[in-house]
Amino acid sequence: MTNEMEMNVEEMIELAASIEHTNLQPNATKEDIIKLCDEAKGYHFYGICVSPYFVQLAKKELTGTAIKIVSVVGFPLGYSTVAAKVEEAKKAIISGADEVDMVLNINAFKSGDYATVQNDIQAVTTVCHLQNKQVKVIIETAYLTPEEIDKACRICIDCEVDYVKTSTGYAPQGATVEAVKLLRSILPAKIKIKASGGIKTHDFAVELMKAGATKIGTSSSLNIIGVEQQ
């Protein structure tokens, strides 16, 4: 019984180290983000994911820790201009972001304008890599066919991104095991996968990790690691 309990604790610690504790709500407050940071410190999450507005606050709250600060670019719809995304990424990095999650220009992609999509991703990736920061591309799998997912991944491979991310959490569907498996079958090992959107339980998070996800983006982090919320 003791070994089983120890294994469970070890599993929870390992899972927490893969979670990006997230609050991207449009009505989030300073107090909400401070609480998010405190929880990340208390439960040793890999990182926190917040809007660009809150990056400086998160940097202040997490000084002296190894917790990563992740912020978003072109979020959640992805159709802002390349120049706007580049400036957003620069500002996030200057403010203290360690990683940038950018949204694919789905309008351009669905229109077959792959040159614009590639330029968009490459521009943000270059900005991030010049500052030794990681970039994740949110392709919003809910809107794409398997063939389109393959095409989006090929563009991400060409741009040498660090991660492909499933979802923003604002589409009709978030991460699925099937989508993660498909991404893993297409992407080279050096490009990792972040599953996000609708991940609320421990079992589902574990399924996604087994399917090939390296990171889990969720606002239900405490529930996933088995912490009862007050």
Q: Which residues are catalytic?
A: 101, 165, 194
Sign of CA dihedral 29, 20, 222, 201: positive
- The greatest distance separating any two alpha carbons of the chain, rounded to the nearest whole angstrom, comes to 58
Alpha helices (runs of H) in the chain, residue ranges in sequence order: 2-16, 30-43, 55-62, 82-95, 106-110, 114-130, 146-158, 177-186, 202-211, 221-224
Strand partners, 226: none
Strand partners, 20: 47, 217
Torsion 142-145-149-152 (CA) sign: negative
